[in-house]
Chain A
C-alpha cells in the first residue's frame, strides 16, 4: 500500500506569489493534518481536516488555508508568500480525527523556498 504522498517535493517561489501543496493520505485514513517545519525546529501545527471539515487550526495567519476533498486528499494554500514561509511542509494522515489523536503517518514533505 502507498504511504502518504505529497507534491511537489521541492519548489522555489518569490515573495508575494501563491503556492498550493497537495497531499494524498493513506487509503482508508480520513484525517489529514498539515505541519510547517522550519530548519532546526520541530513541526508546527497548521491545520487538521477530518471528513472534509476543519477540526483544528494553529497560530498561522489567514494567508494559510486548506481544504479536504471527498477522496480525503488535501491541499494547503499559502498566499502572499514571505521569506519566512520557507520551510518543509509536512502532511500527516491518521485513521480518525477525534479525541486522543494517535499515531500520525507522515509524507516526505514539500520543501518550499521563498526568494
Chain B
C-alpha cells in the first residue's frame, strides 16, 4: 500500500525557477527520504530527514518536515534541465522500521 502522496503529480517549469513538491503521509514515522528517478531507471537517494528534524539542506535542495501535519516538502532552487525526473518521498514507519513505504511520485519537467 502507498503511504505517501506527492503533490503535484506533475510539474512543468522553466530553467532557473524553483520547484516545490509536497508529500503527505499517514502514520508516525522514524524518517522520511526523498529519491529521484530518471525515466524507468533506478532511484537515487537525495536526502533523509529524521522525525526530530524540521529542515535540512543539501546543495540546491531544501527539505522541510512537519510531523504535526504529517507532511514534507522538497524545494529545488534554480532548477536545471537535468533536474527533469520523477521525485518520490518514502517513509520509515515508527512501528516497522525495516521497509520504505513510497508515494506515487511527482513528475518534474524543467524546460530549457
Residues of A within 8 A of B (CB): 4, 33, 40-45, 48, 55-56, 58-59, 88, 90, 92, 97-109, 111
Contact = CB atoms under 8 A, between A and B. Distances in A.
Secondary structure at the A interface, as helix, strand, loop or mixed, is loop
Interface in B77-99: 88, 90, 92, 96-99
27 contacts: A40-B104, A41-B104, A42-B90, A42-B103, A43-B43, A44-B102, A45-B99, A45-B100, A48-B98, A48-B99, A59-B1, A92-B43, A98-B98, A99-B30, A99-B98, A100-B92, A100-B97, A101-B92, A101-B99, A101-B100, A103-B33, A103-B45, A104-B45, A104-B100, A105-B45, A106-B43, A108-B42
A101 B2 CA distance: 18
B69 interface: no
A97 B45 contact: no
Nearest to A111: B40
Contacts of A4: 42
Contacts of B33: 103
Given A43-B90, A45-B101, A56-B98, 8 more contacts: A43-B102, A59-B1, A100-B30, A102-B31, A103-B33, A104-B45, A106-B43, A108-B41
Interface in B5-64: 30-31, 33, 35, 40-45, 48
Contacts of B42: 4, 90, 106-109
A40 B6 CA distance: 13
A38 B22 CA distance: 22
Secondary structure at the B interface, as helix, strand, loop or mixed, is strand
Task: From A4, A45, A88, A98, name the one whose CB has the most chain B CB atoms within 10 angstroms.
Answer: A45
A90 B88 CA distance: 14
Closest 4 pairs (CB-CB, A-B): A42-B102, A106-B42, A45-B99, A56-B98
A27 to B, nearest CB: 17
A42 B105 contact: yes
Nearest to B107: A40
Nearest to A48: B98
